[in-house]
Amino acid sequence: MIAAFGGWNDACQAATDTVRHLLDVYESREIGHICCDSYYDYQSSRPMLCNVQGHRRIVWPETTFYEVTAEPETTFYVAMGPEPNFHWSDFCQRVLRFADECDVTNIITLGSMFADCTHTRALPLSHTCGDDDDASDDSYCGPIGIPTVLNYQAAEDGFEAESLWASVPQYLGGDECPAGTLRLLNELSALMDFALEDGDLAASAEKWRLQADMLVRCNDDLSDYVHHLEHLMDEHGEPDASDVPVPHAKQLVEETEEFLRSFDHPAAPED
């Protein structure tokens, strides 16, 4: 079972877009869901009013499970929904009970985070196994999200549990990151020992990089920041955030979002 949750754990939607991609390229069917009332604060995860086949209806936040058929003999399950606000331990146990009912033995959680990395290099990816204290990123101490809690509980309950996290450049916050989605998909392929179809993700990732290149060329502050990151990565590997001068980080992100919106929707020419 592959699980991804929107919100804090899902920078630029790279994690949940991985699940959406799998649902788009393979035959799938909804097989269950976890109802919302006990787990969500509707002021932070608001219901949506939608038109469904000509009828207006309220769509409540919930976690949905799908069975995905990649080949006649290759079936797996995915779970996706907003990160719950309440009762995380109970929520994770419900996910694991559902996995057990489907005879799942392996659970892979996906996440994406903003980091001091650049679009000009391969996006960093973290891979941990269950509650393994010898993982490469075991120096981290700080807040965690529902993928980490689910991963640990899965390992404690006897599942083979692994977690994949892609890093996304913080200066490109607010937009989708197909390069991060492709990075997660490729690592999933390796873990599952199955070549998952990437569809148009490679082309979308290249377009994303070209847009970011244009943004960097048009913003001297951002260009200096990216070149500094590249220098640190070339010399020392992934940089420590404390080593990177980002005096105008919020401003750079806001300018990035405004630029990308204008790139996708260019202004009409003046008469």
Lowest pLDDT segment from 16-30, 125-139, 213-227, 247-261? 247-261
pLDDT tens track for 99-129: 999 999 999 999 999 988 899 898 999 998 8
Average pLDDT over residues 136-158: 84
Amino acid 133: pLDDT: 46
What percentage of the chain exceeds 90 in pLDDT?
Answer: 55
**pLDDT over 50 at 263, yes or no:** no
What values do phi and psi take at 4, rounded to 5? -145, 145
pLDDT tens track for 73-101: 889 999 999 999 999 999 999 999 999 99
Domains of the chain in start order, with CATH, are: 2-198 (3.40.50.10900), 204-264 (no CATH)
State CA 182 to chain mean position distance: 10
Which class for 140: exposed (0-12), middle (13-18), buried (19 or more C-beta within 10 A)?
exposed
**CA–CA distances in Å: residue 31 to residues 15, 67, 82, 108, 202:** 21, 7, 18, 19, 30
**pLDDT over 90 at 14, yes or no:** yes
Sign of the dihedral through C-alpha 159, 150, 98, 11? negative
- pTM attached to this predicted model: 0.82
Distance in angstroms (rounded) separating the CA atoms of residues 107 and 67: 14
| DSSP letter (8 states) at residue 176 | -
pLDDT tens track for 154-208: 999 999 999 999 999 988 877 799 999 999 999 999 999 999 999 999 999 999 9
Q: Which residues pair with 167 in a beta bridge?
A: 113
Dihedral angle computed from the Cα positions of residues 44, 150, 185 and 1, in that order, rounded to the nearest 10 degrees: -110
Amino acid 247: pLDDT: 35
At 16 the three-state DSSP class reads: helix
| Under 8 Å between Cβ of 242 and 232 | no
